[in-house]
Amino acid sequence: MPEPSSAQDPAESVGNAGAGGTMDFAAEQAGSLTAPPPGEHLVPEGGTTTGKPRSLWSDAWHDLRRNPVFVVSALVIVFLVLISIWPKLIASGNPLACDINKSQDGPAPGHPFGFDLQGCDVYTRTVYGARASVTVGVCATAGAAILGSVLGGLAGFFGGWWDAVLSRISDVFFGIPIVLGGLVFLSVVTNTTVWPVIGFIVLLGWPQIARIARGAVMTAKQHDYVQAARALGAGNTRILLRHIAPNAVAPVIVVATIALGTYIALEATLSFLGVGLKPPTVSWGIDISTASTEIRDAPHMLLWPAGALSVTVLAFIMLGDAVRDALDPKLR
């Protein structure tokens, strides 16, 4: 990494005291401060390596690989994805094989996390619950982030009618209470998979991201470097992708990673109300909902799925944070 301090330009400290704003500025300055001829640099050599040219993305990746926060959170996420796809990797039991006699029992040999209200093994259910919860969290966040940042970004960039119409539409969605909307929307759906829930969360989640993206794009758009690119003849696509997007993505990343946790919790709420995921499906949300009423008698029932949810949300927030920092050259 080049050390920024060596970028100081020694010649720029040359003073010309009192010359500011004088009429004989020309006569005084012309002789003493002519620019150096080409080839003779103001900056000392050294401090940088002559490698291949780098870009923001290659620098960011180079940075991320050395960031322990990124490595740890990425490993946690990879692990979560693996057990979502193949829960049998670490859990041999059946999450639906329950023995009501063991209701709310504590840890026992072979059942390290104890048993829930129905006498099912909490460990197995926590492992199997990852699939539904991670799918809902990741897909809903990705959907809302993509839809929201594209629509909001375009509204902020082009303005005018498109912006006015989009802002009013997002106001309408903001006005729908999430739980009430969920009861109405999801009660008519008979499909028992996670997709209607994801669709509903995306539908109500995108306006939040769109507002953030719209504001970030409007801020980035005002900078002179956008005008400079336009003056060079750059088209809208290049300006959006090369100049606006990298400078507007940070707040969207932050809001989206925080929203991920909210969306998993929202799935839990909807499941609790009976309109989210239906019981044969195992999810952290369903388990947290049922356990929350028994927290005094059997805290372990709540602890494990809630802990798994917290670790997942934390991993995504840390990942988002690391990516955001890596995309800001000033923080390197």
Please name which of 138, 131, 139 lies closest in space to residue 84, comparing C-alpha atoms.
131
Find the part of the chain contacting other proteins (CB under 8 A) among 25-33, 115-123, 150-158, 257-265: 25-33
Residue 41 engages other proteins in binding (rule: CB under 8 A): yes
Based on the shown chain and the rule CB under 8 A, indicate whether residue 230 belongs to the binding site for other proteins: yes
Please report whether residue 53 would count as binding other proteins according to CB under 8 A.
yes
By CB under 8 A, tell whether 8 contacts other proteins: yes
The single residue among 73, 135, 149, 247 that binds other proteins, judged by CB under 8 A, is 247
Paired tokens of 108: 């026992």
Rule CB under 8 A: is residue 221 a binding residue for other proteins?
no
The site string for other proteins over 55-74 (x = CB under 8 A, - otherwise) reads: xx--x---------------
Residue 243 found at the interface with other proteins (CB under 8 A): yes
- Residue 225 binds other proteins (CB under 8 A): yes
Alpha carbon separation from 233 to 228, 237, 242 (Å, rounded): 9, 12, 14
Q: Which of 86, 223, 274, 279 binds other proteins (CB under 8 A)?
A: 223
List Cβ neighbours of 247 (8 Å cut-off, separation of 6 or more).
216, 220, 223
Residue 171 binding other proteins, by CB under 8 A: no
Among 111, 135, 322, 330, binds other proteins (CB under 8 A): 330
CA 135 to CA 86: how far, in whole Å?
13
Q: Which stretch binds other proteins (CB under 8 A): 65-73, 211-219, 242-250, 316-324?
A: 242-250
Rounded distance between C-alpha atoms, residue 202 and residue 34, angstroms: 61
Q: How far is CA 186 from the centre of its chain?
A: 26
Beta bridge partners of 111: 108
Q: How does DSSP classify residue 111?
A: B
Tokens of 150: 């594209």
Among residues 25, 61, 174, 195, which is the contact residue for other proteins, using CB under 8 A? 25
Backbone angles phi, psi at 25, to 5 degrees: -50, -45
10 binds other proteins (CB under 8 A): no
**Residue 34 binds other proteins, judged by CB under 8 A:** yes
Least distance in angstroms from the C-beta of 11 to other proteins: 7
Residue 203 burial class via C-beta count within 10 angstroms: exposed 0-12, middle 13-18, buried 19 and up: middle
109 class by beta-carbon count within 10 Å (0-12 exposed, 13-18 middle, 19+ buried): exposed
Q: For the purposes of burial, counting CB atoms within 10 Å of the CB of 277, is it exposed (0-12), middle (13-18) or buried (19 or more)?
A: buried
Kindly tell me which of 94 and 227 has the beta carbon lying closer to other proteins.
227
**C-alpha to C-alpha distances, 296 to 59, 273, 293, 300, 301, nearest whole angstrom:** 51, 22, 8, 10, 10
Contact status: 14 vs other proteins (CB under 8 A): yes
- Out of 98, 150, 203, 229, the only residue in the binding site for other proteins (CB under 8 A) is 229
Beta bridge partners of 108: 111
Please count the residues of this chain forming the interface with other proteins, following the rule CB under 8 A. 63
| Residue 229 CB, nearest approach to other proteins (Å) | 7
Is 4 near other proteins (CB under 8 A)?
A: yes
Tokens 């995108």 appear where? 206
Q: Which parts of this chain interact with other proteins (CB under 8 A)?
A: 2, 4, 7-9, 11-16, 18-26, 29-30, 33-36, 38-45, 47-48, 50-51, 53-56, 59, 223-225, 227-234, 238, 242-243, 246-247, 327-330
